[in-house]
Structure 1
Amino acid sequence: MLRLFVALDLTEEVRQRLAGLAGGVPGARWTEPESMHLTLRFIGEVPEDQAMDIDAALAEIRAPAFTLTFDGVGMYGSARRARVLWAGVERNEALAHLQVKIESALVRCGLPAEERKFSPHITLARLKDAPTDRIGRFLSDRGLFRTGPMPVEHVTLYRSHLGNGGAVYEALREYPLDSV
């Protein structure tokens, strides 16, 4: 069985800008810059033959290359029990269309449709018992975070290896987007 997901890779410049947001929240487990990505669809555990079908389906997707701007920070969970700190993505129709095409291709491969609404973000940190005042300060101090446009020229199929130190991501294949 292979644990897979489809994601956008980040440029080194964007990774470093995002990594620069880290700090100031006790109990936060910050994402390493080399592990940062924008998940388009978590697939989960699939047998190898289905992984081959997924690879073939992703290779057939045609979508234009585009640019993406990261904008703002936020959290998932409640104010009393935040679970994740994230960096947001400026609304982007090309990204939304690409995600729909990927979702459709994966459903054709026999995967169940994703029930959650697509909410593009970069996970900055996972939280456990972090003080709410420090989370609030983190969000207000970094609320104006914004990057310049980042080129998106391919989509990547990743395999996730779970271990004691967290997940390790292995890029299996890149699927180029069409030049504009």
Structure 2
Amino acid sequence: MPRPHYLAVLDRSGLLTALARFDPHVAGTPPLGLDLPASDIDVICQATDAEAFARTLWDFASAFDGFAIHQWKSDGRPVVASFHLDGWPVEVFGDPRPVARQPGWRHFEIERRLLGLGGDGLRAAVMRRRRDGLKTEPAFARVLGLEGDPYTALLTLDEMPDPDIVRMLKSRLT
């Protein structure tokens, strides 16, 4: 039986409402149309009060299958929770920085922009790499011929003008 659409799952669950004071943003492969059967729903939040964020997640999701929560020891000490909702793995990430400045959101925005400029050819090339086992950022980096750490390399495209990206895409996808 196929999984329900990720937006329907989020709407029915009330997760985004529960996290409203933490500015939740849905990111990752489902909104990009790059999801695979094992893909998760990513929710990125601004959590300046890690304890309140963790308490909210505990109150909302601790009874769900696979619930786990932890706090990183570095890089702003974000809180990360994972659990399952209606057949979908979910990961909720709370960092003290505004969502727009968090690397996960920046990757998502860059990938959305690239797909908008690269169209079906780029989507198909990235999906081939994803089906071969690569995560999203490494798949984009491989298709685009980006050197070094794929997560860092993708962020370098943030300031690149659209005409330059289009030229790069044409050279990589032809």
Give the TM-score category using the shorter length. Answer: under 0.3
TM-score when normalising by structure 2: 0.24
TM-score between the two structures when normalised by the length of structure 1: 0.23
Q: Which has the higher strand share?
A: 1
| Bigger relative contact order, structure 1 or 2 (CA pairs below 8 A, ≥6 apart) | 1
